[in-house]
């Protein structure tokens, strides 16, 4: 076998959430095929939501993910409330955004420090990195802990919060509980700014993509818990039109669906898309950190997504401090959400990208239909395209080195394969 004709397989990608494999086939010195194979069995959440009551959905969908349960809860609430013609606003909406900030902080800190940074510093994982850089790992875990603490105070617990309900929350915290978070958040803000400066100094391969970028946009603020889908090439549509514009298709090599923009093709959602579309609404310290890191008006190098996540962590902490400073406990934790026969749509920005839910309700609130489109399945086609181009420029490398580089490239996207249907095996086939 020569370097012109070979196959490469990653048969177990570490430091991603879930299980999958990657196969690369090289023929005549060109990449003939790249497949990101998600072999985790289907999880049937959409199926077993049918027949349940409309108020049960947030607590069931939260179980899709142990890292981003709030995303699933709040996209579900948005869709159910839309179906029932109810709007949750005011301080309760602010508390939900604050809860979501907690999830962004802990999820981004996890990915930056424990899943992705070891790649740039040449370690097999966070445990190995911690032996040489203990205080750095401790800094990351301290940031993560503040995010988890926010989720405990507002959500009732750090993993799979239990305080979110259709119509609002079960309980609102007294102001004293939130004020107790101010000092830890201020310390985390300093740590998060240092994190941006730290990761901005990593060595990044020269590599850029040309994917259309899609994210929710909420003029005036960096979209998290609500917004309108928009792309960097001018496409704008209502959340209720999501399925007219986003086409999901089955592919033989994956138990997750592949998504594309109707009539346009592959696209990318997640931190790079959010930054490009909402940079102007970053908070002052976050924008200054982004400028200092050299991110510019947009970032198209997926390897630099670690810098964008760090900037978003700064933003989420500043936003949490802003929301806490303005907090006055509301009169009621929730509004009534009487059931009606209708279809509702909801989308929020999960840490990994846009997360869409649609539910059809019967008159008594029984779920008749359910559809969930997670970010990782939306990004699969773009990830494969990036890997194809990335490998093509590195065919002179050994299979071992190329496999390592591909695994790192996949981790750029912080793929949550568990959500999309889990872990990567890479096979590289170089053939005549």
Partner 1 sequence: MCVAYPARVRAVHDGTAQALVRGREVLVLLLGLAESPAVGDWLLVQSGIALSIMDAGQAAELEQLLDEAGWSAGSLA
Interface residues with partner 1 (CB under 8 A) are: 17-19, 65-67, 110, 114-115, 125-127, 130-131, 134, 137-138, 141, 144-145, 148, 158-159, 416, 418, 422-423
131 vs 284, which CB is nearer to partner 1?
131
For the bound state, the minimum distance from the C-beta of residue 68 to partner 1, rounded and expressed in Å, comes to: 8
For the bound state, the minimum distance from the C-beta of residue 165 to partner 1, rounded and expressed in Å, comes to: 23
114 vs 428, which CB is nearer to partner 1?
114
63 vs 186, which CB is nearer to partner 1?
63
66 vs 201, which CB is nearer to partner 1?
66
186 contact partners, CB below 8 Å, separation of at least 6: 321
Helix (H, G, I), strand (E, B) or coil at 18: coil
288 contact partners, CB below 8 Å, separation of at least 6: none
Question: In whole angstroms, how far apart are CA 144 and each of 24, 128, 151, 199?
Answer: 35, 19, 11, 16
54 vs 422, which CB is nearer to partner 1?
422
For the bound state, the minimum distance from the C-beta of residue 123 to partner 1, rounded and expressed in Å, comes to: 13
For the bound state, the minimum distance from the C-beta of residue 15 to partner 1, rounded and expressed in Å, comes to: 8
309 contact partners, CB below 8 Å, separation of at least 6: 108, 111, 112, 271, 414
Question: In whole angstroms, how far apart are CA 251 and each of 35, 69, 381, 425?
Answer: 10, 27, 10, 18
For the bound state, the minimum distance from the C-beta of residue 419 to partner 1, rounded and expressed in Å, comes to: 8
For the bound state, the minimum distance from the C-beta of residue 233 to partner 1, rounded and expressed in Å, comes to: 33
45 vs 204, which CB is nearer to partner 1?
45
Helix (H, G, I), strand (E, B) or coil at 154: helix
d(CA 81, CA 349): 17
Cβ neighbours of 362 (radius 10 Å) = 15
Neighbouring-strand partners of residue 217: 228
- In 3D, which of 135, 146, 159 has the Cα closest to residue 62? 159
For the bound state, the minimum distance from the C-beta of residue 65 to partner 1, rounded and expressed in Å, comes to: 6
DSSP one-letter string for 263-291: TTB-EEESHHHHHHHHGGGS-HHHHHHHH
141 vs 429, which CB is nearer to partner 1?
141
Q: Which contiguous run of DSSP H or E holds residue 11?
A: strand 6-11
């Amino acid at each position: 076998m020569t370097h012109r004709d070979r196959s490469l397989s990653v048969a177990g990608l570490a430091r991603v959430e879930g299980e999958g494999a990657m196969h690369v086939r090289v023929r005549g010195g060109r990449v003939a095929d790249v497949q990101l194979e998600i072999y985790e069995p289907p999880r049937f959440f959409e199926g077993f939501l049918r027949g349940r009551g409309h108020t049960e959905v947030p607590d069931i969908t939260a179980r899709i993910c142990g890292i981003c349960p709030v995303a699933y809860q709040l996209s579900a609430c948005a869709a159910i409330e839309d179906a029932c013609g109810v709007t949750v606003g005011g301080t309760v909406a602010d508390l939900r955004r604050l809860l979501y900030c907690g999830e962004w902080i802990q999820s981004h800190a996890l990915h930056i420090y424990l899943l992705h940074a070891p790649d740039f510093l040449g370690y097999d994982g966070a445990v190995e990195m911690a032996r040489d850089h203990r205080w750095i790992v401790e800094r990351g875990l301290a940031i993560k802990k503040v995010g988890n603490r926010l989720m405990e105070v507002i959500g009732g617990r750090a993993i799979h919060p239990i305080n979110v309900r259709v119509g609002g929350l079960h309980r609102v915290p007294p102001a004293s509980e939130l004020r107790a978070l101010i000092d830890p958040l201020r310390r985390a803000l300093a740590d998060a700014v240092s994190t941006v400066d730290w990761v901005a100094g990593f060595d990044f391969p020269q590599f850029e993509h040309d994917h259309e970028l899609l994210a929710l946009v909420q003029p005036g603020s960096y979209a998290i818990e609500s917004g309108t889908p928009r792309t960097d090439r001018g496409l704008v549509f209502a959340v209720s039109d999501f399925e007219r514009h986003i086409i999901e298709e089955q592919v033989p090599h994956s138990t997750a669906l592949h998504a594309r923009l109707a009539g346009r093709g592959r696209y990318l959602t997640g931190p790079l898309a959010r930054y490009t579309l909402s940079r102007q609404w970053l908070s002052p310290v976050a924008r200054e950190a982004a400028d200092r890191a050299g991110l510019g008006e947009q970032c198209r190098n997926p390897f630099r997504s670690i810098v964008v996540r760090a900037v978003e962590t700064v933003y989420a902490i500043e936003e949490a401090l802003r929301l806490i400073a303005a907090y006055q406990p509301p009169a009621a934790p929730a509004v009534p959400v009487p059931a009606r026969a209708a279809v509702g749509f909801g989308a929020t920005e999960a840490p990994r990208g846009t997360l869409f839910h649609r539910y059809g309700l019967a008159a008594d609130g029984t779920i008749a239909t359910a559809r969930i489109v997670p970010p990782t399945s939306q990004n699969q086609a773009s990830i494969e395209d990036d890997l194809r181009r990335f490998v093509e420029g590195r065919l002179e490398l050994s299979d071992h080195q190329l496999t390592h580089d591909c695994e790192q490239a996949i981790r750029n996207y912080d793929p949550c394969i568990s959500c999309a249907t889990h872990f990567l095996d890479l096979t590289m086939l170089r053939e005549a």
